[in-house]
Structure formats: structure tokens, C-alpha cells
Structure 1
Amino acid sequence: MEYDPVFIATKSDDASFSIYNYFISNGPGLGKYILTEGRLPLLEFPEKLIDNEDRVIIFLSRHSSKAKVNSITVHPVGNFSTNDIGGRERNIARCAPEIQTAILRKMCDVYSGEKYQVTFEATHHGPESNNRLIFAEIGTEPENWKDVDALRTLFLGVRDATPKNYPNYVGAGGGHYAPKFSSYVLKENVNVGHIISKFRMDEIGKDEILMAVEKTDKCKGFLVDKKGIKSAGMTMIREVADQLGLEVITI
């Protein structure tokens, strides 16, 4: 493995604690583990425990879905508009495009079943941090959190991920589960950082798009779901791209 993550989990959430126990049992030397008493997502966390701002933090968490979709997901962290779940409004954390994309690729490689949707999610909820953050989640029902297939998929995705030095892009448009971006990275040599869903694109302005670029390290441009974005959103993307000299790829 080419990275050295810090894992944060909590005893107060059955899913998080189950994932933590599986990881600590199967990968005790995988990285640094921090078990908290608080709830996830946290508004803040004790950054003094993290010795290096460039170290990637992976939160082990439950995935929630009103539709009760069985999912294994990774996603970047923060809020482009309202803070419906946690964190601060219009504030996002640094992301780790090369690592979260590598985790997704490996999870898709090792999972062969049909029960779970293995996917990115768009950027949402806190906490805030100067570190690069990823949420790694299993959802949505209690039986999923102890399902060995789901736990193994998430664990192997993290343990065996091979980050690639591909160009990094901000995703824009499409649904919350980012199906086009999730599929695209399996075929193309790109990494995806922050993802702004179609729903959030309708709520933001150019300042938030600039923030997404700033918090996606070495951002080369935008991947745009051309059928999942309105013309006003596309105009903002192109204006920011022209302003910063970035690429726009429509898929």
C-alpha cells in the first residue's frame, strides 16, 4: 500500500464500530486507528492527534439512505450549501482524489455480488479539517454492517488500493451516487476529487466551484455529467475553467 491513513471510528455507532473491529482484526498494521466516543459525522475532531496534515484520514461510518439502498461507498467531505447532516455551511475539507478513486476501483474489482451498490457519493457533511478526508461507508440496515461480504469489500478496497498519479478532476452534475463518475474512473486514467451533485449545483455560485478546485489537490479540470447539469451550472463551470485555465470534460 502506498499511503499511510489514519482511521477514525466511533463506539457510539454500530456500523462504525463493526467496521473498525473488522479492520483492526484483519489489518492491525494498516494505519493509525482512533476510536472515539462521539458521533459521526463530527463537526470537529481532535486534530492534535493527527501528526501530519498531509496524512489522509478515513472515517469508517454507516451509510444512510431513505430508499434503504444497500451500498458500499467512498466520498469526499464537506457542504457546498446547507449543512443538512453535519459540518458547516459552504465549507468543504481537502480531499484525496488519488486515494478515494483507488479505493473505489479496488472495491469494484473485489466485489462480485449483486446485493450492494459500490460507488462514489457526492461531497456531503462534515467534519472540517486541514487534513485530507475520506468517508468509507456501509449501508444501510443493521444486517449490512455485519455482512462479511460488505466488510471484506471495504477492507480490501482500502488495504489493496493502489493510488495512481493520474490527473485530478472535480466532478459536477448528476445524482448523489455519481454513477457516471463511478463508472468513468473504472475505464479512464483519471482521479475524481470533490463531486458537486446536480441538486447542489442548483444552490451554489462560482465561489463554491472555486472552493472545490482549491480543495482538490493538483486539480486539472472538471468532469461534467452533461445530462445531469442545467445550462446555468454548465456556464459557471466553463467560466471558472476559463478563469483558471482548467480543462472541461463532458461525459
Structure 2
Amino acid sequence: MESVTLLIVSAEDIASTVQGDALLGRGGWNEADPVEEGRTWRHTSQPVHIWWFPERVLWADQLDERYAAASGAQVREVIFLSRHSAASGRPSLTLHVIGVPGESPVGESAEYGGIKGAVVPPNPRFAAWYRRMVQAAHDHAVTDEFDLTIETTHHGPSLSSPTMFIEIGSSESHWGRTDAAEAWADVISEGLGLDGGPGLGDWHALSDSERAQSKVMLGIGGGHYAPRHIDVLRRTNCWAGHQIASYALEMQRPEDESWDPQTGDLPEGQWEHAIRVCAESTRQSFPGGEVMAHLDRKSFKGWQRRAVIRLCEELDIPVGRTAAFE
């Protein structure tokens, strides 16, 4: 059974279809049998498939397994081509991995897809593709207008395969921008070796010794657009797994005035579960790598930061500043 990268386009999302059109326009695709009434294409030189899914995707769970069952291909990773929405409306190119850490009750369906408290394995290409996106944005002269960012882990759907979203934002006036779509098409083409190159961010291509020397950032704390974690990606060549925003790290300080954050019981709240599941999921996507935590230190009070570091020590996850990820 062929192992493939699955690119999913949502037919109801113009920012998704404009990216799909840009990629198909570069040639090298043969149309194949439809899956669930959605058209599909297979690349002629690389194990990459496109599925033009006929509906919205956030609540469409297990699309990787559904595609595999219908097509006979084994899905090794999923990349959603998507739009980004933000109240600010500021134009942006962004990408992120998915899941709903920190929400409760754990196990219930989440508002924007996925399962509360659960995360999807992060796609290992995340960090390398962010860096390549920055270059592509400059190549297509959109940097004066578009923010170039990542986002912390959020929303659905639920899948089993390593997954990420690549997005054009942040309002209707930007979603259909062909220049932004061409920038992403550059990233996809080079990132998956469709241009004849080796690809970018393929963890499976590393030797055991290369994996052992590779640093993988688990980002903890900060705002939704993770500026301090982005700084690590820009300054180093590290890999990246889940990035957990402060809003997913709800923590209650114990009422006992004698409580010591260094030695007392860990504080209650969803923060511990969020870090545990994100750490486990990141390790799942990066076997043999060194997962390290990067804290947005200013986003925590002192007692919160000490509690997070204690948990990381328990999980055998070193905590480092930017230089530690070089």
C-alpha cells in the first residue's frame, strides 16, 4: 500500500480553493477516482494526493482514515489548505497544528471541531514550512501587507495522522488573494519535493543519529500568535510540535498560604492535562528526537512558571531559552 501525503481542499472555502488551484496550475497532476463525491488528484512524481473535499472540514473527523479506506492509499500525513479568520481582519499567512488542549469537560465535542482535551499529532513539517513561508512571502512581495505568523494549537477536526493547517487570512477581502496562494504553492511544491528537490521538514528522512541531535520545541504559554515561540523558529533551525496558548493553561493557586510551588502539590486546573497530552503527542510525531519546552516566561506569574517547570521535569522535558534550540 502506497504511503502518501494528503492535501485537503475544502470546496466551501475560497482561501482553500485558491491554494488548490495554484498548486494544480503548476502541473504534474493526474485526476483519480472521486472520494465521497470529492475530486482527487495524484502527483506524477511524488506520493502526494489532493482531495477536494465537498464540505467544510472542522467537524469532518477521521478524514485520513476515510480517504485511505476509499482510495487504498495509506495516509502518512495531512495538510489542510484553509482560510484564517480574525476579528482584527489583518491580512496574514499562518500555519498551525491542531487539537483542543485545555478545554473541558475532556472528551466532549468542541465548538470548533475536535474533542475537548485531545490533540492531533503535529505534522513535523511545521517549523520548516514556517521558515519557507517567510521566504515565499518576500518572493511574492506580500510582506508589507501580510503578517507572517504561526498559531497555537486549536480547533478540529480529529485525525490519527500528523496534521497541520496552512492558511490565508484574515477576512473575505484577503481569502481569495492569488499572490498569497502562489506563495503557499511555492512552499508546498518545494516542501513536498514536487519541484524535484528533497522536500522540507521530512522527519522520516533523518537517520537515527540526526534525529537524536534534533531539538523539537514544545511551546508553552503566551498569546494565540505565539510571538516568543516564533522568535525561536526564526533564530534557529529547530523543529516544532504543539504550541500551547496561555488560555489553554488554566491554573488555580492553592488557597493554603504555606503552599510552596517548588515542593507542594501541583496546582489544579486543565493546564497539567494540556501539557501532558501535547508533550505525548509531540513525542509521537518526533520519535528519537529531543523534545524541549520553550516557555513564554513573561506570560506566567512566578508560581505558575515554577509549577510548569516542575511538570516538565517530571515528564523528562528540558526547559530552554532560544540558544538551547540552536
TM above 0.5, yes or no, is: yes
Q: Distance in 1 between matches of 2:234 and 2:122?
A: 19
On the 8 A contact 2:4/2:74 being kept in 1, the answer is no
Structural mapping, 1:130-149, within 5 Å: 130-149=160-179
Residues 205 and 232 of structure 1: CA distance in aligned 2, closer, same or farther (over 3 Å):
farther
Aligned-partner SS, 2:155: coil
The answer to whether structure 1 residue 106 and structure 2 residue 135 are counterparts is: no
Distance 1:232 1:21, change over 3 A: farther
Task: Spell out the pairing of 1:198-217 with structure 2 (5 A cutoff).
Answer: 198-202=246-250, 204-216=270-282, 217=285
Give 1:184 deviation, angstroms.
Answer: 1.5
Aligned equivalent of 1:151: 181
Cα distance in structure 2, aligned partners of 1:189 and 1:16: 28
Cα distance between partner residues in 2 of 1:132 and 1:190: 18
Q: CA deviation at 1:227?
A: 1.3
Give me the whole-angstrom Cα distance separating, in 2, the residues matched to 1:228 and 1:52.
41
Q: Considering only CA atoms, is the larger Rg found in Structure 1 or Structure 2?
A: 2
- Aligned runs of 1:46-195 on 2, under 5 Å? 46=63, 47-50=65-68, 51-52=73-74, 55-82=76-103, 83-97=110-124, 99-112=125-138, 113-161=143-191, 162-163=200-201, 166-195=214-243
Q: Alignment partner of 1:210: what SS?
A: helix
1-structure distance, mates of 2:91, 2:245: 20
Query: What is the Cα deviation at residue 68 of structure 1?
Result: 0.7
Q: Which residue of 2 aligns with 1:44?
A: 61
> Which residue is 2:305 aligned to?
234
- Which string of whole-angstrom CA distances, capped at 9 and with x for unpartnered residues, describes residues 81-107 of structure 1? 33342211111100123x011110001
User: Residues of 1 paired with 2:157 and 2:127: CA distance?
Assistant: 20
Q: TM-score, normalised by structure 1?
A: 0.90
8 Å Cα contact 2:62-2:160 kept in structure 1 = no
Q: Which one-letter code corresponds to 2:127 in the other structure?
A: T
Percent of matched pairs sharing the same residue: 24
Offset, 1:43: 4.1
- Alpha-carbon offset, residue 4 of structure 1: 5.3
Q: How does the TM-score come out when normalised to structure 2? A: 0.70
**How many residue pairs were aligned?**
247
- Which of the numbers 287, 291, 296 marks the counterpart of 1:225? 296
**Is the 1:201–1:229 Cα contact (8 Å) retained in structure 2?**
no
- Report if the CA contact (8 A) 2:18-2:178 is conserved: no
Contact 1:169 1:222 in 2 (8 A): yes
Question: Could you say if the C-alpha distance between residues 230 and 201 of structure 1 is closer, same or farther in structure 2, counting changes exceeding 3 Å?
Answer: farther
Q: Which structure 1 residue ranges, 5 or more long, are not aligned?
A: none
C-alpha distance 20-232 of structure 1, shift in aligned 2 (>3 A): farther
**Equivalents in 2 of 1:26, 1:109: separation in Å?**
19
Q: Equivalents in 2 of 1:79, 1:233: separation in Å? A: 21
In structure 2, distance between residues paired with 1:49 and 1:118: 31
Q: How does 1:1-40 map to 2 (within 5 A)?
A: 5-26=5-26, 28=29, 29=43, 31-40=48-57
8 A Cα contact 2:7 2:79, kept in partner: yes
1:116-136 deviations in Å (ceiling 9; x for gaps)? 111110000011111001011
Task: Give unmatched runs, 5+ long, in structure 2.
Answer: 30-42, 104-109, 192-199, 203-210, 252-269
1:16/1:187 Cα in 2 relative to 1: closer, same or farther (>3 Å)?
Answer: same
